Structure 1
């Protein structure tokens, strides 16, 4: 039994497909399949139930996989402990952020970090909160930047900054002359939202509960909310005259569209907002690196950079 075999069965349980699991582990499908079968023979149990369409853990296999995950986490902790005895600002640092933060934070964070810790390579990635949660637990990432609320056992979460929401609309929109927008004024607008799985979508609907009925409206009228895959997609849709959208303030840059084409409007008080936070494993020993990452993010002043 090896750590590699344990990593294979954990990944296979997550993907429920030999091909996808092999891709994630950067091995061929036969290599992964043989290793899993070898471990099952060594333990004399069936860890997985195989069918033509999917692979799923057996009840006993599920228990084995949970224990394997714990072993992998402890093995990752050994590497962390070893790293802590070295210069904490020279080893690579892997950080992830949700899709609605990463594109607007990372371009500012990287040069700021190069100034504060020039010898620490930074690797960045963007994903959904659920994926980042799993990757921080598994030791694939050293820290993640997410929006609160966020809770995870044995993970430290520290708020970084509060970011207000704004409304993006075309210059010819009926609300274009308004100084500030009240959520109720959006009731008769075609509000463009992110798709399911984005936490920012949930935060918008919580801040503007008056929009929820339009999501279930089967008539497809003016109040029906459209869904986009990214904030940048929504901005292009607004520029095309398809409606308005709600953005975190850091995403309010309109790119190559001029201020005469797109307008950024603040909300009236109380202004809806989100709390952006940094999270890392409680066992992560490179606290000096965490401090530098936190200080670098705060120095970026992302939420203050694009005030309407």
Structure 2
């Protein structure tokens, strides 16, 4: 039996595309060439892997079993190919994914620290929602990602970076109306009719709903805002209230001069920001080094936020 990596990569593409034509286009080969490789793979294994239907293919039980093994084999091969890149720790080329509610605040602070550490480091940053980052990480398109953890994924290694508390942001008039209503400001006591959140798919919105014990249908989400900057601009003008992570306080108050904020009572709602990588990827120190730099950048932002709005003040 002489199964090749090419055959496995073609099979994975076919299994994901469910169509010979689309899989061939993805692999930049002709459809007959891809079909020949799949037939040879079936012959070598002595099993039918796909059922060929008019417009799609369906994996057989043997096909599903092979897909599971093929993905693991290809992942291990990618890890082997990358291993030489990390022989000297954090150096060379690094592709980092970051969720949108962290990237615009953390990356500008972290970049100078990374450059100071190694001016030859070639860094690529991809900003996307958690689901997309985890998918790209699994496919080997990213080396690591900054997300809210835990991810609840066994194939990932996680390193906590910092605790990012949620602040309540709005106009001074809106927030002043809440002062004195209770002994302390509680997320569960907010009026859902006044709460604006990011559009569906953002983990920050899901976390905000969780701490408020709300369902999305109970909040004002008709605006479909896709960035915290948009929400902060809206609430600063009196269009409701929103949650602002501590790491974004300096940036958003600077760009929206009349944005007011309040802290919740203890225990303040928060999220844990962490760095994740594939468990199979080789770590010669680069992951720890990267985590230390990102943690330093995050802690500096949190320190600024807590000086501007001291907890318990």
Matched with 1:200 is 204
TM-score computed with the length of structure 2 as normaliser: 0.79
Matched with 1:187 is 191
Structure with greater Cα Rg = 2
Matched with 1:306 is 305
Matched with 1:251 is 248
The within-5 A match list for 1:1-308 is 2-4=4-6, 6-11=8-13, 13-14=15-16, 25=26, 31=29, 33-44=31-42, 45=48, 47=50, 57-84=59-86, 86-173=87-174, 175=176, 178=179, 181-187=185-191, 189-209=193-213, 211-212=214-215, 215-217=216-218, 224-226=220-222, 227-252=224-249, 253-254=251-252, 257-260=255-258, 262-300=259-297, 301=299, 302-307=301-306, 308=309
Structure 2: gaps (5+ residues): 43-47
Mapped contact 2:98–2:145 kept (Cα < 8 A): yes
SS of residue in 2 equivalent to 1:67: helix
The alignment's C-alpha RMSD in Å is: 3.1
SS of residue in 2 equivalent to 1:290: helix
Specify whether residues 240 and 290 from structure 1 end up closer, same or farther in structure 2 by C-alpha distance, changes over 3 A only: same
**How many residues are paired up?**
293
Mapped contact 1:161–1:276 kept (Cα < 8 A): yes
Specify whether residues 297 and 2 from structure 1 end up closer, same or farther in structure 2 by C-alpha distance, changes over 3 A only: same
Specify whether residues 6 and 131 from structure 1 end up closer, same or farther in structure 2 by C-alpha distance, changes over 3 A only: farther
Mapped contact 2:90–2:290 kept (Cα < 8 A): no
**What whole-Å deviation, never above 9, does each CA across 1:109-159 have from its counterpart, x for those lacking one?**
111100112222111112222332233333322222111222322422121
TM-score computed with the length of structure 1 as normaliser: 0.80
Going by fraction, where is helix more abundant, 1 or 2? 2
In the TM superposition, residue 50 of structure 1 has moved relative to its aligned partner by: 5.6
The separation in 1 between residues aligned to 2:37 and 2:79, in whole angstroms, is 24
SS of residue in 1 equivalent to 2:174: coil
Structure 1: gaps (5+ residues): 218-222
Mapped contact 1:113–1:296 kept (Cα < 8 A): yes
SS of residue in 2 equivalent to 1:161: strand
In the TM superposition, residue 255 of structure 1 has moved relative to its aligned partner by: 6.1
